[in-house]
Amino acid sequence: MEKGILAEIEEIIDEFSFFDDWADRYQHLIDLGRKLPSIPNKYKNESYKLSGCQSTVFFVAKKTEDDLIQFKAQSDAAIVQGLVALILRVYSGRSANEIIDTSPDFLTQIGLDKHLSPTRKNGLASMISKIKSSAMELR
């Protein structure tokens, strides 16, 4: 059985609190990004490109047979790929209502809001927004 969305968020907060400094947290993010499976080439084109991100992010949302929403995304930048992995860990494979009702506050709780450049923050906000709007469209 899949871990609940709140349990996943708690696990992420615990993981990040384990690290003493931001160099280690960034490394953890990069490692998470490296583990993210590559998206199929058919999605690596302009129509799947996420706007609002400085680096290239390809993003796709699909509804599964059991009414869950699966997200796939990939970035060409290591830290952004890590952020993508983090976001997908929380939101992918959930019901539309869970996605819509779950705040991205955990990003603030792990301190990302204070340690990302303004352009990365905008890109992250753009991705969260796309996840929420995709959930609205697909429910």
CA neighbor of 91 nearest in space, from 12, 28, 29, 26: 12
Strand partners, 67: none
CB 82 within 8 A of CB 32: yes
3-state SS, residue 20 = coil
92 is catalytic: no
From 53, 61, 73, 127, active-site residue: 53
List, by residue number, the catalytic residues. 53
